[in-house]
Amino acid sequence: MLYVCIVFAIIAPYLICSINPAIIVTKIKSGEDIRKLGSGGAGLTNVLRTQGKTAAVFVLLGDVLKGVVSILLIKLFCHFFLPADAYSISDIDPPIEYAGYFPYLCMWLGSLSAVLGHCFPLYYKFKGGKAVLVTVATGLIINWLAALMALIVFIIIVALTRYVSLGSIIAAALYPVCVWVAGTFILDIHYTYIGVIFTSVIAMILIFMHRQNIKRLINKNEKKLGQSERKR
């Protein structure tokens, strides 16, 4: 059943997170495609700039909800379908108990799949958002402290610079470090390396999705938080 859980961890979060609240909310509110407005991003920041605060709140709630639901479903699925001995590795010398090893692996796999679903959604011709909120939402369920640390970094950078993109890029780059520090020195997770590996891949995806923002930051024409966007 381990392989069934792995397949579930790949497919379910991808399909759930392919649902894009930014596209849906904008379509309901103005009848337009958010990907053709403002910066062209199908995410919270672009909705805030082009559709207003109320629409942005719905997008925030939707993105967080789909990320949380994805990981909770994986936890539930593993609980019911993995045998009891899958929660430990005791056949090594000396034996070491790794409670929750395989569910932990499946959850991080699900987090990566959720990010891919948001960035490259099946339902919208594989053109989605940048998955920052989904990353935080899934991370809070798997390793809450690491996700909180990365979120604090994001808030500090945005508060100092007013560049949401810069905060996202720096927080993404430091996310694997946060997972390592939180898992190794505070939460005492024996298999922290799994989280570090998956968050390193997620960080690269998030930075790649911000490549246009990086160009604008270098050229000093990136929009700051609070600046409105015009239609493209």
Residue 20, pLDDT > 90, answer yes
Task: Report how far apart, in Å, the C-alpha atoms of 98 and of each of 60, 123, 141 are.
Answer: 35, 38, 18
**Spatial CB neighbours of 203, under 8 Å, sequence gap ≥ 6:** 172, 173, 175, 176
Residues 153, 156, 159, 162, CA torsion sign: negative
d(CA 131, CA 202): 9
| Mean pLDDT, the chain, whole residue set | 90
Decide: 41 and 128 in contact? Cβ < 8 Å: no
Mean pLDDT across the stretch 12-28? Answer: 97
pLDDT for the residue numbered 228: 62
Decide: 49 and 227 in contact? Cβ < 8 Å: yes
CB atoms within 10 A of CB 172: 26
| pTM for the structure as a whole | 0.91
Express each pLDDT in 194-223 by its tens digit: 999 999 999 999 999 999 999 999 999 998
Answer whether the bond into residue 95 is a cis peptide, omega within 30°. no
Burial 108-138 (b: 16+ CB within 10 A, else e): bbbbbbbbbbbbbbeebeeebbbbbbbbbbb
206 by Cβ neighbours in 10 Å (0-12 / 13-18 / 19+) ranks as buried
